[in-house]
């Protein structure tokens, strides 16, 4: 629950120094934050709760208007501020005018699929031929590979665009150059000083001064299309017979990628997601509409749905099925075909959940052995033969959440293993992995602060574990020392109404960098607690005035929080969580997503 640059009071909220999950509860606002909240309430007339939420995210009376209405017009910089954007646009404009065949090489996750679909939609509008290639995770691995590039060249591709990959692909892109292909890299992963022989548009290049490093690949791709569209307009390309596309209609894909790739929802990204959700609500893209229907979504899409409902289904193809399904679905105009692929992705997602559960059980057992009874260790590196390489990232994420330290899961096949890592706030995992590559411990690897991928030989596994312990130990101790659950305000069941939820939505979209407001419900008696679904805990809590609220604690049935809730049935507890709007049977009601709890002190204690 550690967050970057938190503001908190020293006194624990409701006296909770150690909750069911082991956290202290702290108020998000310090003295300066309280002053900002008061100014927001007085100057703009915002209600007290909304003012506190805004102030807790660094919003002041002067910046509130732009925060509450993130405008692309005001937040969107000139795309040419990105280094190498100008030559990338120049080369693609030539390809469009000449009718060259453009190869789009995307990663197999949501960011790669949406980026590929964005480019495909644009080139289709231009009448420009293109070929999309999404590599198979198992047989081709991450990023461009020589055989795929040879196949694209043989198919007539003369201009290659890689999306969400390519920054580290020296040998494959050298092969592209040898075959006569001009290569353009559209990426956002952290980059070494030495770049491949290509036009590299990546805000995380060491020499890029745009300040746009928070963008996902789809965000960078959108910037590319804005610049390319402008150049084509200036060159008179758009005519009555070939109308200029409405690029804003592609923001549904940018929003999906931004949330699914856990990019920070600040600045330009907030504008992308805000406008993208509005586009998505129109359900004009057959592929997304089909996914909504398969998932049973009937209300307006929210970031939660993108990250936990739609994103996993698109990813399922790349994890355990046909990696190209996601990108194909997002470019379809045929609703029947979209429905067929959406149903296949839904099936694969269910299969993925079964695989993930079995692998996670084994990985947790190994992690407990590595940490020992004293729970010591800077990072967790689990590995095994037989694990599916498509789900190791999900397993690493669960390990990180459970053990609150950086975690890796590695699937070995013979002497080589492929793995993924996930980090906690304050620990730059991508930098650590690149350092391990430079030290000769990994065959290859890269990523960004919160996530990384790697390839490792079996004989270097112990060395890699030791390297992480040495490199991360001090930073992990510091990061974990600052862990706390940061609380925005206290509420009661009677106050958790639909109107309040809609008011709080004005400070959204919430996600990484703009966390959902956390509320504490003090001394509510648990009148019903029961396990439901796949390891969840459902509950009903009653305040002293008799008002009730329903809640759910996801994936906690076998965790300390879930066990504490079941043990406290009939007792008064402090509940901490976020609010969601539950739509069922035509009715709307606010539900509490419980993320922590603590026993309330007995009356009179």
| pLDDT of the residue at 373 | 74
Taking alpha carbons only, the member of 212, 295, 225 closest to residue 253 is 225
Tell me the pLDDT of the chain averaged across its residues.
93
Q: Is residue 392 part of a domain?
A: yes
Q: Is residue 402 part of a domain?
A: yes
Supply the range of the domain harboring residue 178.
74-250
**Radius of gyration of the chain from Cα atoms?**
25
| pLDDT of the residue at 297 | 87
DSSP secondary structure of 307-358: IIIIHHHHHHHHHHS-TTHHHHHHH---HHHHHHHHHHHHHHHHHHHHHHHH
- Tell me, yes or no, whether 477 and 492 share the same domain: no
What CATH number should be reported for the domain holding residue 541?
2.40.50.460
Identify the band that residue 584 occupies on the pLDDT scale cut at 50, 70 and 90. low
- What's the mean pLDDT in 399-418? 95
- Tell me, yes or no, whether 83 and 172 share the same domain: yes
**CB of 382 within 8 A of CB of 426?**
no
Q: Is residue 3 part of a domain?
A: no
| pLDDT of the residue at 173 | 98
| pLDDT of the residue at 4 | 41
Encode pLDDT of 150-205 as tens digits. Answer: 999 999 999 999 999 999 999 999 999 999 999 999 999 989 899 999 999 999 99
Encode pLDDT of 92-133 as tens digits. Answer: 999 999 999 999 999 999 999 999 999 999 999 999 999 999
Q: Is residue 475 part of a domain?
A: yes
- Tell me, yes or no, whether 45 and 104 share the same domain: no
Taking alpha carbons only, the member of 244, 298, 255 closest to residue 70 is 255
pLDDT value at 605 more than 70: no
**CB of 253 within 8 A of CB of 218?**
yes
- What's the mean pLDDT in 374-386? 92
| pLDDT of the residue at 3 | 47
| pLDDT of the residue at 6 | 43
- Tell me, yes or no, whether 428 and 562 share the same domain: no
pLDDT value at 463 more than 80: yes
Specify the DSSP element, H or E, that contains 430. Answer: helix 429-438
Specify the DSSP element, H or E, that contains 416. Answer: strand 416-422
Q: Is residue 340 part of a domain?
A: no
| pLDDT of the residue at 10 | 59
Cis, peptide link before residue 572, omega less than 30° from 0: no
- What angle do the packed helices 392-403 and 335-371 form, to 10 degrees? 50
Return phi, psi of residue 33, to 5°: -65, -40
- Tell me, yes or no, whether 477 and 568 share the same domain: no
What CATH number should be reported for the domain holding residue 424?
3.10.310.30
What CATH number should be reported for the domain holding residue 152?
3.90.1640.30
| pLDDT of the residue at 5 | 39
CA distances from 529 to 526, 562, 564, 570 (A): 7, 9, 11, 9
Query: Strand 199-201 to strand 130-133: parallel, antiparallel, or no bridges (unpaired)?
Result: unpaired
Taking alpha carbons only, the member of 595, 545, 538, 543 closest to residue 573 is 543
- Tell me, yes or no, whether 528 and 426 share the same domain: no
Encode pLDDT of 522-546 as tens digits. Answer: 999 999 999 998 899 999 999 999 9
- Tell me, yes or no, whether 79 and 185 share the same domain: yes
- Tell me, yes or no, whether 17 and 143 share the same domain: no
Specify the DSSP element, H or E, that contains 470. Answer: helix 461-481
Encode pLDDT of 294-350 as tens digits. Answer: 999 878 899 999 999 999 999 999 998 899 999 999 999 999 999 999 999 999 999
Count CA within 13 A, CB hemisphere, residue 351: 15
Identify the band that residue 418 occupies on the pLDDT scale cut at 50, 70 and 90. very high
User: Among all chains, which residue has been given the structure tokens 């490199």?
Assistant: 471
pLDDT value at 579 more than 80: yes
CA distances from 269 to 112, 216, 306 (A): 17, 9, 14
| pLDDT of the residue at 603 | 56
**CB of 321 within 8 A of CB of 129?**
no
Percent of the chain with pLDDT over 70: 97
Close Cβ partners of 60 (under 8 Å, ≥ 6 residues apart): 36, 39, 40
Q: Is residue 23 part of a domain?
A: yes
Encode pLDDT of 308-321 as tens digits. Answer: 999 999 999 999 88
According to DSSP, residue 516 is labeled: P
Tally Cβ neighbours within 10 Å of residue 66: 15
Q: Supply the pTM of this predicted model.
A: 0.90
Encode pLDDT of 36-47 as tens digits. Answer: 999 999 887 778
In DSSP terms, 579 is beta-bridged to 592
d(CA 167, CA 174): 12
- Tell me, yes or no, whether 437 and 514 share the same domain: no
pLDDT value at 485 more than 50: yes
**CB of 130 within 8 A of CB of 104?**
yes
- Tell me, yes or no, whether 474 and 406 share the same domain: yes
| pLDDT of the residue at 298 | 79
| Final residue in a domain of this structure, among 250, 267, 298 | 250
| Final residue in a domain of this structure, among 430, 446, 481 | 481
Q: Is residue 173 part of a domain?
A: yes
- Tell me, yes or no, whether 94 and 240 share the same domain: yes
Q: Is residue 355 part of a domain?
A: no
Close Cβ partners of 175 (under 8 Å, ≥ 6 residues apart): 146, 149, 150
Count CA within 13 A, CB hemisphere, residue 309: 18
Percent of the chain with pLDDT over 90: 86
Return phi, psi of residue 378, to 5°: -80, -35
Domain total of the chain: 3
Higher pLDDT, 73 or 605: 73
């Amino acid at each position: 629950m550690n967050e970057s640059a938190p503001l908190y009071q020293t006194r624990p909220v409701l006296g909770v120094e150690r909750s069911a999950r082991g956290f202290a509860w702290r108020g998000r606002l310090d003295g300066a934050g309280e002053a900002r909240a008061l100014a927001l309430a007085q100057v703009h007339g915002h209600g007290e709760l909304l003012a506190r939420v805004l102030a807790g995210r660094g919003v002041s009376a002067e910046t509130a208007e732009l925060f509450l209405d993130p405008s692309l017009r005001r937040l969107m910089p000139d795309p040419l501020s990105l280094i190498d954007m100008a030559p990338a646009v120049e080369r693609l404009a030539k390809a469009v005018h000449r009718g060259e065949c453009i190869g789009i090489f995307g990663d197999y996750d949501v960011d790669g699929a949406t980026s590929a679909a964005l480019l495909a939609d644009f080139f289709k509008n231009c009448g420009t031929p293109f070929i999309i290639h999404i590599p198979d995770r198992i047989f081709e691995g991450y990023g461009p590979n020589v055989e795929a590039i040879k196949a694209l060249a043989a198919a007539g591709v003369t201009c290659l665009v890689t999306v969400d990959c390519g920054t580290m692909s020296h040998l494959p892109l050298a092969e592209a150059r040898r075959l006569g292909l001009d290569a353009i890299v559209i990426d956002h992963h952290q980059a070494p000083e030495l770049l491949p022989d290509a036009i590299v548009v990546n805000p995380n290049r060491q020499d890029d001064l745009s300040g746009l490093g928070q963008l996902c690949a789809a965000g960078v791709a959108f910037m590319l299309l804005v610049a390319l569209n402008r150049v084509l307009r200036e060159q008179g390309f758009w005519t009555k017979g070939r109308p200029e596309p409405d690029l804003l209609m592609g923001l549904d894909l940018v929003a999906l990628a931004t949330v699914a790739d856990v990019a920070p929802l600040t600045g330009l990204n907030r504008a992308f997601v805000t406008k993208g959700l509005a586009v998505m609500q129109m359900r004009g893209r057959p592929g997304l509409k089909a996914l909504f229907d398969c998932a049973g979504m009937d209300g307006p899409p929210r970031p939660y749905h993108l990250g936990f409902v739609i994103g996993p289904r698109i990813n399922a193809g790349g994890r355990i099925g046909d990696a190209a399904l996601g990108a194909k679905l997002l470019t379809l105009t045929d609703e029947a075909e979209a429905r067929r692929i959406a149903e296949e992705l839904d099936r694969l997602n269910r299969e993925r959940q079964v695989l993930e559960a079995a692998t996670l059980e084994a990985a947790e057992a190994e992690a407990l052995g590595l940490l020992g009874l004293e729970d010591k260790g800077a990072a967790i590196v689990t590995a095994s033969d037989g694990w599916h390489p498509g789900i190791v990232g999900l397993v690493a994420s669960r390990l990180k959440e459970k053990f609150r330290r950086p975690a890796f899961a590695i699937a070995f096949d013979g002497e080589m293993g492929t793995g993924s890592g996930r980090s906690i706030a304050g620990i730059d995992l991508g930098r650590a992995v690149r350092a391990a590559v430079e030290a000769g411990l990994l065959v290859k690897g890269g990523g960004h602060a919160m996530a990384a991928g790697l390839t490792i030989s079996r004989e270097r596994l112990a060395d890699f574990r030791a390297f992480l312990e040495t490199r991360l130990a001090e930073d992990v101790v510091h990061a974990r020392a600052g862990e706390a659950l940061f609380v925005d305000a206290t509420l009661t069941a009677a106050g958790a109404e639909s109107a309040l939820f809609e008011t709080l939505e004005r400070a959204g979209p919430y996600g990484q960098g703009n966390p959902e407001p956390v509320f504490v419900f003090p001394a509510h008696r648990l009148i019903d607690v029961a396990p439901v679904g796949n390891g969840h805990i459902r509950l009903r809590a009653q305040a002293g005035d008799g008002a009730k609220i329903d809640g759910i604690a996801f994936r906690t049935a076998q965790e300390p929080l879930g066990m504490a809730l079941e043990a406290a049935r009939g007792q008064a507890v402090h509940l901490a969580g976020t609010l969601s709007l539950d739509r069922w049977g035509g009715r709307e009601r606010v539900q509490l997503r419980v993320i922590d709890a603590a026993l309330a002190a007995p009356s009179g204690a």
